């Protein structure tokens, strides 16, 4: 009996860094290999050392690194130090505030800025900046101050931030109920066939590449969560297409994953293979032109252009639009000029 008490005391001194529930369709796989797919920046050595220290629990029992995970196993990874993202430090960083009142603010996030601290990014994030500029921001369900939703590091554009508990609850409910309005502008590889369309496909973590998500369908659909993206052609530019994408759901990397799924990966989206020349000619001159475009826009061509929601206290419908940033605009203009020569 004393032994189990000692275990409890020890666990009280530990901090949970990760928690996962193994998916239904998971084949038996060593836990060190499994965790490498889910923990960003983790090495197998680090995971094995954590297992040796008794820091990896499956269904509340410490396991060794050769333990084979089974469907619906509950995995927790504990360490003596708190997660770095809990050590939030205010930083005097510029924020482009598009709108602000007592309840909320709307921010136009610059490309390259991470929204919240995480593994490998402990400073320089939007949250660090928000903590400097604003007091007493409410925490969301993940203990992230002010954040109602997020956009990827290399995506630019609009985010709403809650300044009160009531605003946080009200806005989060709108995003969950899919009533918020979110429109993105994306430049994708290839000539998209239909002028407009809807992509439906459940999105979940890629089984082999821990940094990617993928579409699951058929018998494997349960491995992902439902996701719906509506798109409309804005401009056909030869070997690339400029699209407007409207999100019905907000899964991680949703537009990036859905566009790849239909064969039109985002231009220069390195994580999903868009940094290669996926369409066009084999001429050296063309390769030079595309490389030049990549240098002009050194990130995925995605911008969160429009954001709409109901104001949490006034009940007023609010909508905000922001210009496409200069790097993306310059890249589009290069393709406009190129496609004019093709005609």
Q: What is residue 3's predicted lDDT score, i.e. its pLDDT?
A: 33
- Any idea what the CATH number is for the domain that residue 276 is in? 3.30.2350.10
128 and 46 co-located in one domain: no
66 and 190 co-located in one domain: no
Residues 6+ apart with CB under 8 A from 55: 14, 62, 77, 78, 79
101 and 209 co-located in one domain: no
139 and 151 co-located in one domain: yes
Q: What is residue 222's predicted lDDT score, i.e. its pLDDT?
A: 87
Look-up: residue for tokens 């002010």? Answer: 146
332 and 186 co-located in one domain: yes
CB 188 within 8 A of CB 241: yes
How far apart CA 150 and CA 159 sit, in angstroms, is: 7
Look-up: residue for tokens 């759901």? Answer: 249
Beta bridge partners of 181: 308
77 and 89 co-located in one domain: no
CB 275 within 8 A of CB 268: yes
Domain boundary among 82, 111, 128: 82
- What number of H helices and E strands is found in the chain? 8, 17
Give the count of domains, the chain.
3
Among candidate residues 32, 152, 154, 269, the one labeled active-site is 152
Query: Tokens at residue 228, please?
Result: 């719906």
Domain boundary among 176, 202, 221: 176
Distances (CA, A) of 168 to 59, 97, 114, 290, 310: 32, 18, 20, 43, 12
- Is 154 labeled as catalytic in the residue annotation? no
Per-residue pLDDT of the chain (343 residues; tens, 9 = 90+): 333 333 333 444 566 677 888 888 788 899 988 887 777 666 778 888 888 888 899 999 999 999 999 999 999 887 666 555 556 789 999 999 999 999 999 999 999 999 987 666 678 899 999 999 998 899 887 778 899 999 999 999 999 999 999 999 999 999 999 899 999 999 999 999 999 999 999 999 888 887 899 999 898 888 899 999 999 999 999 999 999 999 999 899 999 999 999 999 999 999 999 999 999 999 999 999 999 999 999 999 999 999 999 999 999 999 999 999 999 999 999 999 999 987 6
214 and 75 co-located in one domain: no
329 and 298 co-located in one domain: yes
Q: What is residue 19's predicted lDDT score, i.e. its pLDDT?
A: 84
- Any idea what the CATH number is for the domain that residue 19 is in? 3.10.290.10
Residue 246: HSE in the Cβ half-sphere, 13 Å Cα cutoff: 14
How far apart CA 97 and CA 146 sit, in angstroms, is: 14
- Boundaries of domain holding 324: 181-342
* pTM exceeds 0.85, yes or no: no
CB 271 within 8 A of CB 212: yes
202 and 246 co-located in one domain: yes
Q: Which residue, among 36, 72, 37, 31, has the nearest Cα to 51 in the 3D structure?
A: 31
Domain boundary among 27, 57, 82: 82
109 and 66 co-located in one domain: no
């Amino acid at each position: 009996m004393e032994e189990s008490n000692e275990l409890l005391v020890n666990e009280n001194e530990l901090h949970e860094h990760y928690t996962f529930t193994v998916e239904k369709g998971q084949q038996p796989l060593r836990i060190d290999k499994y965790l490498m797919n889910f923990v960003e920046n983790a090495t197998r050595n680090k995971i094995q050392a954590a297992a040796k220290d008794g820091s990896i629990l499956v269904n509340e029992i410490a396991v060794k690194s050769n333990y084979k995970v089974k469907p619906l196993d509950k995995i927790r990874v504990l360490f003596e130090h708190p997660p770095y993202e809990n050590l939030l430090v205010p930083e005097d960083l510029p924020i482009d505030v598009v709108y602000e009142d007592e309840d909320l603010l709307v921010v136009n996030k610059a490309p390259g800025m991470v929204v919240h601290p995480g593994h490998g990014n402990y400073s320089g994030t939007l949250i660090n900046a928000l903590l400097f500029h604003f007091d007493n921001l409410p925490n969301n369900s993940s203990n992230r101050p002010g954040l109602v939703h997020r956009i990827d590091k290399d995506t630019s554009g609009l985010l709403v931030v809650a300044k009160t508990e009531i605003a946080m609850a009200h806005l989060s409910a709108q995003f969950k109920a899919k009533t918020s309005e979110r429109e993105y502008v994306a430049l994708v590889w290839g000539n998209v066939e239909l002028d407009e369309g809807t992509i439906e496909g459940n999105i979940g973590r890629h089984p082999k590449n821990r940094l990617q998500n993928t579409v699951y369908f058929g018998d494997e659909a349960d491995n992902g969560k439902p996701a719906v993206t509506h798109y409309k052609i804005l401009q056909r530019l030869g070997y690339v297409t400029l699209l407007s994408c409207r999100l019905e759901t907000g899964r991680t990397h949703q537009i990036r994953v859905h566009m790849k799924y239909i064969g039109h990966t985002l231009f220069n989206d390195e994580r999903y293979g868009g940094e290669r020349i996926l369409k066009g000619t084999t001429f050296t001159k063309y390769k030079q032109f595309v490389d030049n475009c990549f240098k002009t826009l050194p990130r995925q061509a995605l911008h969160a252009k429009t954001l709409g929601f109901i104001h949490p206290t006034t009940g007023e419908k609010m909508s905000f639009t922001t210009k496409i940033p200069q790097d993306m605009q310059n890249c589009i203009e290069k393709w406009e000029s190129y496609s004019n020569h093709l005609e």
